Amino acid sequence: MSQEPLLTEEEERACLELLLLESMAHTMPPPPAGPLGSQYCVCKVELSVCGQNLLDRDVTSKSDPFCVLFMEVNGKWVELDRTETAVNNLNPAFAKKFIVDYHFEEVQKLKFALFDQDKSSMQLYEHDFLGEFSCTLGMIVSSKKITRSLLLGNGKPAGKGMITIAAQELSDNRVITLSMAGRKLDKKDLFGKSDPFLEFYKPGDDGKWMLVHRTEVIKYTLDPVWKPFTVPLVSLCDGDVEKPVKVMCYDYDSDGGHDFIGEFQTSVARMCEAQDAFPLEVECINPKKQKKKKNYKNSGIIIVKSCKITRDFSFLDYILGGCQLMFTVGIDFTASNGNPRDPSSLHYISPMGTNEYLSALWAVGQIIQDYDSDKMFPALGFGAQLPPDWKQYFILLIITDGVISDMDETRDAVVQASKLPMSIIIVGVGNADFAAMEFLDGDSRVLRSQTGEEALRDIVQFVPFRDFRNAPKETLAKAVLAELPQQVVQYFKHQNLPPITSDLG
């Protein structure tokens, strides 16, 4: 990207020094965050808690610890849940798990507090305090398991007490792919053959069969071969491979009065016996015909050509599998920003200790920092290139005050970058016309290079900072990071790369 002439080296160095000094002088306190019901990356995470070397608060025996989980909501700690009490145990492994909704684009601050149960009271002040540990949910899932020292209220260590917290995603993201065919199905049309299709049902909570999937119609044949289809395993059988599945075969009629050919019941476990070389054949039965005709055999054969269960990996699968988000910042130091010592400059550090550049950095950085193990965030100028690394995923945050003058070259670069493990976040500061930036954000159309090559993925997310000037920082973070989980998953799917620690269980 190129714009107006750059600042002099001395002015640019002054900008960098101001930014770096300001960044070091100000920590990034997490904003109030809670279960706000985001529609983006939401799933449930199970947290397992163990304690080691807890303080002994009992005189005649050892402590009877239990753990309480709090979440910070609107600046206050709200209790979410408690474990059971481990009697007479300084090294408890609690059976009760904490279930928490995970929102990638929010800072979810948690506190784990341990107490020695002395009475049957629910009031925590009635029990002896054994220590606590605070962190974000992002810190836990990015590490999968963490062990930390417990602290007392005054910040001092709670003896040698430690806490271990492990995270696991709860969602069942297995999918089933079925390849189906038919042979010698009943002829239902007067002047031709049947137009068969299949419907798959599972038992509903009300005891009735609930439709899960309908195949396409194959015209004019008694020996159809349907296209393979994939559905979530939860949709087909609630994740239970032994649960009955009913398959019904119909002859399609354009007026909606489809003729029933036959049906059968099976299960995912049985269908999974089918392999490419050894298909599973099941008789398709019409119960009415079966009752009327003594010599009735079937209304044809339904063939399960293949049945495979795989995992449709989620963003959190990759994070729990060890994927790090490498955060890089590209900052616009062009002359259009103005002299950083001038209050009208976008780089000016106001008496409040901030500006739009820093606000954008904090909003995004406070989320991403949990997923970057070394906590080192390179600051680059425009045009920097990131070396491809097939094990890491890069997020490039570009903060700029102007539009793009070399749009064709930038468009080509984004199309090529869509093949790499990276996402680009652009935050426009100031009041410029950002129509060109909106063009790079391929939400409404597929971005193409000058030669017509399509971007493999939409990797650019653009937001103008002015839309969030009067909004809480977490609002900007949600908007900026909304598409990132999907972009990460899309990259690994295109590369056919499962998470490192994945399994099909």
pLDDT tens sequence across 302-342: 999 999 998 888 788 888 888 888 888 877 766 667 777 78
Neighbours of 25 (CB within 10 A): 9
DSSP 330-368: EE--BGGG--TTSTTSTT---TTS--HHHHHHHHHHHHH
What contacts 23, CB < 8 A, 6 or more positions away?
358, 361
Comparing CA positions, the residue from 365, 315, 312 lying closest to residue 103 is 315
Of residues 181 and 93, the one with the higher pLDDT is 181
CB 395 within 8 A of CB 328: yes
Element (H, E) at 178: strand 174-183
Of residues 373 and 428, the one with the higher pLDDT is 428
Of residues 358 and 5, the one with the higher pLDDT is 358
Residues 465, 363: Cα–Cα separation, whole Å: 11
**pLDDT level of residue 123 (50, 70, 90 thresholds):** confident
* Least-confidence region, from 33-37, 50-54, 195-199, 449-453: 33-37
| pLDDT tens digits along 434-471 | 777 777 876 667 888 888 898 888 888 888 888 887 77
**pLDDT level of residue 403 (50, 70, 90 thresholds):** low
Mean pLDDT (whole number) for 282-299: 93
**What confidence score (pLDDT) does residue 22 get?**
31
* Least-confidence region, from 63-67, 105-109, 420-424, 498-502: 498-502
pTM: 0.60
Half-sphere exposure of residue 478: CA atoms within 13 angstroms, side-chain side: 21
CB 221 within 8 A of CB 168: no
Comparing CA positions, the residue from 242, 238, 258 lying closest to residue 250 is 258
CB 480 within 8 A of CB 425: yes
**What confidence score (pLDDT) does residue 496 get?**
85
Task: Round to the nearest angstrom and report the end-to-end CA distance of the chain.
Answer: 47
Mean pLDDT of the chain: 81
DSSP 165-204: EEEEE----EEEEEEEEEESPPP--SSS---EEEEEEEE-
**pLDDT level of residue 381 (50, 70, 90 thresholds):** low
Q: Is the pLDDT of residue 4 over 70?
A: no
